[in-house]
Amino acid sequence: MTQGNARDGAPASRWSDLDRPPLNTAALRRGLLVPGSLWTSFDVVASTGSTNSDLAARAAELPEGAVLVAEEQTAGRGRLDRSWTAPARSGIFLSVLLRPGPAVPVERWGWLPLLAGVAAATGLARAAGTDMSLKWPNDLLVTVRGEERKTGGILAERAGDDAVVLGMGVNVSLRQDELPVPAAGSLALADAVSTDRDPLLRAVLRSLEHWYGEWRAAGGDPAACGLQAAYAAGCATLGRTVRAELPGGTAQTGEAVALDGDGRLVIALADGTRTPVSAGDIVHLRPA
């Protein structure tokens, strides 16, 4: 992989879209790789297939806190092996390597994508100045002309016995005609006050470091560290009538009423029973 160029001295071809300058790698390293930080390395590549795949392939040789960012991702993956692509320098495409054990039992590692959602939503809301919400389990939502749209997603994957690669993709400056599907969104379309990716990336990583530190210090207990409450407070799914499209082709419809201690979405069915959903696609059937 080729090291991405810092903003100073970047080849002219990288400035083909003046609204989308390259990341300032040197400045980001200075701001993030500080003593006591979770982050131990920070690399930017011009283009790659998937930052998650690249980081997972090197997990055995890297310490916790390695960060890999791509200016362009050509084979990014979301949940259920869905693709995630966007124009070069139009978004934030990153993966981080985490080793939660032995402080956090493996059975609580399922909270990591939800933790990343809280971290990304709070960091981006602060730095971009736009309202963010979460769709269970791992979508980042913005409002574009009164319509709820997905602007980002999160994917956590095991890398060996002791590591997790946590990946994130966020549409930052995509215009309407560049969206992968009409129902997608971007921070720019949601009238963000800033689409400068440098401060956005710093805000996301600092927020992720904060929440990961709190969660780990609590032994992964989502209630004790405030993660469960924070996710519920920012979750647009709760209180909605939803259809849960489950693995195997079945579906259940009801009201999303809670998030349990395992991070599962609890749905109240028409007959009054409550069922927890641990995996599947959630469709919001009506506005909150």
| Residue 48 φ then ψ, to 5° | -155, 170
Confidence at 77, pLDDT banded by 50, 70, 90: low
For the chain, give the percent of residues with pLDDT over 90: 85
Instruction: Tell me what the mean pLDDT of segment 145-163 comes to.
Output: 96
Q: What share of the chain is helix, strand, coil (3-state, %, to 5)?
A: 30, 30, 45
State whether residue 214 is helix, strand or coil: helix
Cα dist from 130 to 119, 123, 144, 172, 190, whole Å: 15, 10, 11, 11, 7
Residue-level pLDDT at 10: 39
Question: Is residue 214's pLDDT more than 90?
Answer: yes
pTM of the model: 0.91
Residue-level pLDDT at 17: 62
Confidence at 1, pLDDT banded by 50, 70, 90: very low
Identify the structural domains of the chain with CATH numbers, from first to last: 12-233 (3.30.930.10), 237-284 (2.30.30.100)
Confidence at 86, pLDDT banded by 50, 70, 90: confident
Whole-angstrom distance, CA of residue 130 vs CA of residue 111: 25
Residue-level pLDDT at 7: 42
Question: Is residue 250's pLDDT more than 60?
Answer: yes
For the chain, give the number of residues: 288
Q: Which of 7-16, 142-151, 255-264 has the lowest mean pLDDT?
A: 7-16
Residue-level pLDDT at 116: 98
Question: Is residue 81's pLDDT more than 60?
Answer: no
β-strands 274-277, 163-171: how paired? unpaired
Per-residue pLDDT of 108-128, as tens digits, reads 999 999 999 999 999 999 999
Q: Which one has a higher pLDDT value, 4 or 153?
A: 153
